[in-house]
Chains A and B, each alone.
Chain A
Amino acid sequence: MSKRPQSTEEEYDVVIVGAGMSGAIVALELAKAGKRVLILEAGRALSDDEEGWQSAVDYFYTQVAKVPNSPYPPTSSAPQPDVLQYQRIKDGIPNSSGYWVQRGPQSFGSDYTRTKGGTTLHWLACSLRMLPNDFKMNTNYGVAMDWPIEYEDLRPYYELAEYEIGVACDADAYWLPGGDPKTHWKGYQYPMKAIPSSYVAKRFAEKAKGLKVDVLGKDYTIRVTPTPQGRNGMPNPDYVPPAKIKKELEEARKYTPYKPQGAFNDPMRGERCQGNANCVPICPVQAKYSALRTLHRAERYHPSGGSRYVNIKTQSVATRIVRNADNSRIDHIEYLTYQQDLGPTVPGIAKGKVYVIAAHAVETAKLCLMSGVANSSDQMGRNLMDHPTMLTWGLMDEPIWPFRGPGQTNAIASFRDGPFRSDHSACVVPIDNWGWIWGTFAPGSTVGQMIGEGKIGRDLRQSLANNVSRQFTLQWELEQLPEARNRVTIDPNYLDALGLPRPVINYSISDYVRRGMETAFNVSKKIFKHVGVADQTFYNPANMGYLEFNGKPYEFKGCGHLVGTHRLGSNPENSVTNSWLRTWDHENLYLVGCGAMPTWGTSNPSLTMAALAYRAAESILRDLNKEKPLRL
């Protein structure tokens, strides 16, 4: 017998579902404006204090397979996908062995984390802006859909996001296809100086200098550029924070161009990257940004000693977004709170004036589909995208000493844009700093192989040192375009422990991406030859992402970038929300997260997501203050 749902004691200004980066940013912005916010988080708060963080680090150390969710064990009451349960889909039989049901034809290779802090707990923190052309794919290249806004519209919000995350990069050294950094950035400086390049990237850049490769009849020079990273380095004295932030700091008499934020629970830690080299899945010193920083600031926010403005309820799974009688507004959100894994639940009702779903691309779409909201366009859950990532690897002709520093500090940016995008995927190509671990599970597999060859003792040690020190990988992260068939759906046959639908995923790799792989593979051959890498790339037909194109083998992996399931757009027919992330169907419902992006080029999505969250917060505030809605 279920209990009658109880309304929470308080009616909030805003109810947010999901305590990840977007939810955190929206909550903090609204709290600063004096609004009261409730965040419902389905997962637990396991790493939310010093002891919790340390046990997550320790738990990660004990895991045999180090995957993105290794330090963050799931609860069956709010399950999360586990990449170890993904497998090659054979004969069209869906893989329902994990939380997700994968219908294929290809397996979706990426995951997310259901916990307080969200997927920022395991992200690599690469914080690339989208390129101006990424917003106009249809106009420029005749593919996909244009955004209703342009790069220049988003620029001020990018600056807010880069302040909050704390992005380290050198704008003057940052190379963009078709753009001179000086004119592109217009004097903008990042909050912190660039994280030093890995030795791997330095040597690669020196060896590749001046190399040109031909793609569809046009020459592209190989350009290695620093990767903007959301991890602490040296503050940049030339940085000027956005005017709004500057004003806040001056009012609090705390103005300094940039003061890096330390660990969420200890300001004396985490202020500088030490090169621990396991950014994914956990930075032991918390030099890497996680949403816990923003969440803790939001939770502490209580001007002049009054009561706090943001209340976070963890272990509270939203189960239904309930509309009012005429369907134009959301009336409340129902949720279930559990005390322990698979323990009994207590139903609750959360009421606010505005509702924000910020539960990550798949969960947001799932919740809306379960609730039958915001889907008059039939776009809800569709256009699921990732950056299918093809690896090429080999042995460099000299030691390059991988595994020192962050996973990537630099990338080849030459193929992020160009006329070829009418034909095939653009790509960004990080210079991987972690040897062959992603492609072959080296160095573990290298040890196994050498023992298999009969090597022991000193011979084994020397052979390993000689081999592992030269392991080199390029990561070809390919742009994927929106396709209606790549989607999240629900199916009453597949339910989780609370009786809620599990996400059902349909995913396929189009010829646009396959042509991108083909090109990338050929370019890789030329680069390897030029820089002195003996190619060792091998795609095993048994592997999950193995596929063939024009008779040749390729393989892709998930990049952890889940995008597109509730895209914004110019009208209610082609999209779920407007560019302020308000749903076309319900005037007080916002969907915030990576799912909002209709296209996204080769940028890692979180920075753009954060920028959009600032935009949404601005619009929500106008709604609450009954100001005229913003256009665009």
Chain B
Amino acid sequence: MMLLHKLQALDTEVPDLDSLKAHLQVAVELEMTTLPPYLCALYSITDGTNIEAAGLIRSVMMEEMLHIILAANVLNAIGGSPVLAKKGVAPEYPTTLPQSDGAFSISLQPFSRAAITSFMRIELPTPVDTPPETDDYDTIGQFYAAIKDALVRLHKAKKIRFDHHPERQVDPADYYNGHGKVIQVTDLESALQAINEIMDQGEGTSKSIYVKGMSKDDLGYHLAHYYRFWEINAGRRFKAGDTTASGPTGNLLPVDWSASANMISNPQSGWYAPGDPRRDMMDKCNAMWKEMLRALEDGLNGKKDRLVRAVPFMLELKKRAKSLMNVPSGIAGTMLGPSFEWPEE
């Protein structure tokens, strides 16, 4: 099921605890949806080129991973169990995401202007005054606003507690690479903080280019995701004083659109018969994706040492994905790439 359908299946009134848990599980899946496209773009960049652009994509990706952890911490605290390693949890590509001006498709594709444009679409800020809707979610912002609303409402009605599985809370010792911080959820306040962190860091708002609570004086990535991708698209950095209206007018950000693997969009392992070496390579890459998601899922469900194991799996996944980008697909001179499919048992 595509993510859009998962969102549509949710009850936007979030009447009870079960519905809230379902929402938070979809939040985990929503954040996961962005990882494979960002990884494809990042891994496709020719080594030693597009260094600044790669750094920006990587920074967004790191924050998406933090968001998975934050959503999982809230879900665990209210008594749920985050699921990552199951067919259908991670989408197959191309997939569809909602946005205020209509649903749109996301593909696995190499670093290119088309890819960056689609990333801007993913991260497009929600107009600040869009209220939660009653029938369907049109924007991700509405979806998270509904979660916050439900947390407050159900807490007030004494229908939820935040003290489940404290041992499952991921803390800074387990995860700390990136801006923002892991928030351990123990009460309503920390739960709302965690959701706010996801919202502030990701979409930002349509009024300010900065992550809420940060300014130009902070080192590193103080821009909301949309504006980081805008920098790549424009080939310029934002500078102090720039606004959402001015766009980036700072230093040049050199981008070499040709310095990336000529990877085919949305490759599928099923294109190749079993026994074909290309099939074998794609299966091995998918197996590592599965292995990594299993380690993460275990890690988010109380087996903390499995989080450490996920690290070498991520490095191995990168190696296998990059190797595929050197293998001709046999279609119009393109190369293969990772397909992020859930391998059959």
Residues of A within 8 A of B (CB): 50-51, 54-55, 58, 193, 234-237, 256, 259-260, 262, 266-269, 271-272, 274, 300, 305
Contact = CB atoms under 8 A, between A and B. Distances in A.
Nearest to A285: B177
User: 3 closest pairs, A vs B, by CB?
Assistant: A267-B220, A271-B177, A234-B173
Contact of B178 (A54, A55, A237, A268): A268
A581 B259 CA distance: 52
Contact of A268 (B51, B58, B174): B58
A50 B177 CA distance: 17
20 contacts: A50-B52, A50-B55, A51-B51, A54-B48, A55-B48, A58-B48, A235-B172, A236-B173, A237-B173, A259-B172, A267-B179, A267-B221, A268-B58, A268-B59, A268-B177, A268-B179, A268-B221, A271-B176, A271-B178, A272-B177
B143 to A, nearest CB: 26
Given A237-B173, A272-B177, 12 more contacts: A50-B51, A51-B51, A54-B48, A55-B48, A234-B173, A236-B173, A259-B172, A259-B176, A267-B179, A272-B176, A274-B311, A274-B315
B234 interface: no
Contacts of A262: 177
Contacts of A58: 48
Interface in B46-60: 48, 51-52, 55, 58-59
A260 B174 CA distance: 12
Contacts of A193: 173
B52 A268 contact: no
Contacts of B174: 234
A266 B311 contact: no
Contacts of A234: 173-174
Nearest to B311: A274
A256 B48 contact: no
B335 interface: no
A158 B227 CA distance: 43
B178 A235 contact: no
A58 B176 CA distance: 27
B5 to A, nearest CB: 33
Size band of the B side of the interface? 20 to 34
B62 interface: yes
B286 to A, nearest CB: 23
B315 A256 contact: no
B219 A267 contact: yes
Interface in B31-56: 48, 51-52, 55
Contacts of A267: 178-179, 219-221
B149 interface: no
Contacts of A259: 172, 176
Contacts of A305: 217
Contacts of A272: 176-177, 311
Nearest to B60: A268
A197 to B, nearest CB: 14
A314 to B, nearest CB: 21
Contacts of B179: 267-268
A510 to B, nearest CB: 46
B173 A300 contact: no
A51 B52 CA distance: 8
B171 interface: yes
Interface string B51-85: 11001001100100000000000000000000000
A122 B56 CA distance: 27
Interface in B166-185: 171-174, 176-179
A54 B51 CA distance: 9
A617 to B, nearest CB: 23
A481 B220 CA distance: 46
A145 B109 CA distance: 67
B173 A266 contact: no
A168 to B, nearest CB: 12
A409 to B, nearest CB: 15
A269 B51 CA distance: 13
Contacts of A54: 48, 51
A305 B172 CA distance: 30
Nearest to A275: B312
Contact of A266 (B171, B176, B220): B220
Nearest to B54: A50
B241 to A, nearest CB: 14
A266 B55 contact: yes
A175 B315 CA distance: 34
